[in-house]
Structure 1
Amino acid sequence: MYVLITGGATGIGKAIAAEFRSIAGTDIVITGRTESALQATAAELDISYVVCDHSSPEDVSRAAQRLPADLDVIVNNAGGNAGFDKEAQTGLAGVQSAWLENYVANVLTAVLTVGELGSRINDGGRIINIGSIAAENGSGSYGAAKAAVGSWTVGLAKEFGHRGITANTIAPGYIGDTDFFKGQLTRERERDLISLTQNGRRGTPADIAAVARFLASPGAAHITGQTLHVNGGVHTTR
């Protein structure tokens, strides 16, 4: 099995890489923009890496030349709240910047990746996209971008379904041990986020990685076009 994980050097992406690394016979390549972080994770997990800015069509095409002709799993993890500090800026320029940056970082990166590599996915393969609980709770430009990821995933399920390829989104809630909040998460805010869960704990990157592994397994072959919520019960489907 050959697995590509975008944004795989840190946080959730690194945890997903480590989870798949534990499956015998699996080859993994991680991508991202920061070579030093990619090098460190690749060395730690004994996997491969390719430097790539997935918002750049040229970068994605160049990276594709270093990837094998056949893929089994694509995990679109690259993204994050690219407009974290910009929506609070005064004026429409800040609003425009936040919305465009979040769309590019979270939607376009995944669209370009599948657009370039979708034809290489083997029959019965998997496309796994990382969404967010923000898509459900009105979280500005970031939430809107992640909602777009969920909608796009449904289209992918229809596009690739005839080949037995599934496409699903994993939507994490609050996940600790990541740089999502860029050092601005206070203890009080973290307590508030944890208090909303039904199990009284924050999520971990390993929680998301375990779901990704399941979605890539034969047992998930009839699950497609879905958003799987992993948030300790903060958001439910009822």
Structure 2
Amino acid sequence: MKIVLTDKVALVTGASSGIGASIALMLAEAGAKVAVNYNTSREKAEEVAGSIAQMGGTARIYQGDVTSTGQIEALVNRIGSELGTVDILVNNAGHMLERQSSAEMTESLYERVMDLNLKSTVFMSKAVLPGMIAKGSGHIVNMSSVAAHNGGGPGASIYAASKAAVIAYTKGLAKEAAPHGINVNCVSPGFIGNTRFHAQLTTPEAQQAAIAGTPLKRQGEPSDVAGAVLFLVSGLSGFITGETIEINGGAFMR
């Protein structure tokens, strides 16, 4: 069965590269009109939108710092006036920023990590909910991490905590949104290669160790995550809400 998202408006945060870019491309391929959000990487966002245009799809780029509630509101309002009410929200934006042990943890890093991973998810969801409620339908997909389950690698405790909070928030929001016809789910990637995250924060040795510890014996790709997101925003997942899909090649099984 081919998934068709024609006439749906999808907002993907942090969509200029890596997993976010792959999600934007896959949703556009299914027919969605995609709002490609970026904060600083305008050129890369333009490349994503250009690729979507080349395949005959519709996409526009939207700058916005998703840790700022004011910018979130302005972003969603602009998308509404230019593309239409958001039907699909993918809260992809997030990062560890840097590895820092709990003994060294600064208040600044704590706030930056929690704002980028949790605050952005909460207030971006808040911004699109009125439109979805008015329509009586919608899909929200949040981005967690295997770190939410195992505490992450060295210096990742606050990142892991923020991603665990995303899973808990997803469950709570799913209960609130369900009476309005809105499905809220979460994806939890393991080691996904070809991303800025691991290029910056994971040594080649650690990357090879992650692959060796994965039953499928390969790294994940951004498209592996995008495929799960596409499923969750389609009619195929109509009776699924409040759930977290683990995407880790079997490295972590629940």
The TM-score normalised by the length of structure 2 is: 0.87
Aligned to 1:55: 67
Letter in 2 for 1:71: V
> Displacement of 1:118 after TM fit?
1.1
The structure 2 residue matched to 1:115, chosen from 99, 103, 126, is: 126
State TM-score, norm by structure 1.
0.92
Partner residue of 2:5? none
SS of residue paired to 1:181: helix
Q: Distance in 2 between matches of 1:97 and 1:129?
A: 24
Matched residue type, 1:4: L
Correspondence for 1:81 among 76, 85, 96: 96
Identify the residue that residue 99 of structure 1 maps to in structure 2: 110
SS at structure 2 position matched to 1:190: helix
How much does 1:130 deviate? 0.9
Distance (Å, rounded) in 2 between the aligned partners of 1:225 and 1:90: 34
Q: Aligned residue for 1:194?
A: 211
Post-superposition offset of 1:104: 0.5
> Which runs of no fewer than 5 residues in structure 1 stay unpaired?
none
Asked whether the equivalents of residues 16 and 36 of structure 2 are also in contact (C-alpha less than 8 Å), the reply is yes
Counterparts of 1:60 and 1:184, CA distance in 2: 27
**Residue 42 of structure 1, CA deviation:** 1.4
1:125 is aligned, of 97, 114, 138, to: 138
Q: Is it true that 1:218 corresponds to 2:231 in the alignment?
A: no
Query: What does residue 7 of structure 1 align with?
Result: 14
Q: Which residue of 2 aligns with 1:178?
A: 195
Give the drift of 1:95: 3.5
Identity of aligned residues (%): 30
CA RMSD of superposed structures (Å): 1.6
Distance 2:24 2:86 in 1: 15
C-alpha distance in 2 between matches for 1:184 and 1:144: 17
The aligned length equals: 232
Unaligned runs of 5+ in 2: 1-7, 54-58
Aligned-residue offset at 1:184: 4.4
Secondary structure of the corresponding residue to residue 79 of structure 2: coil
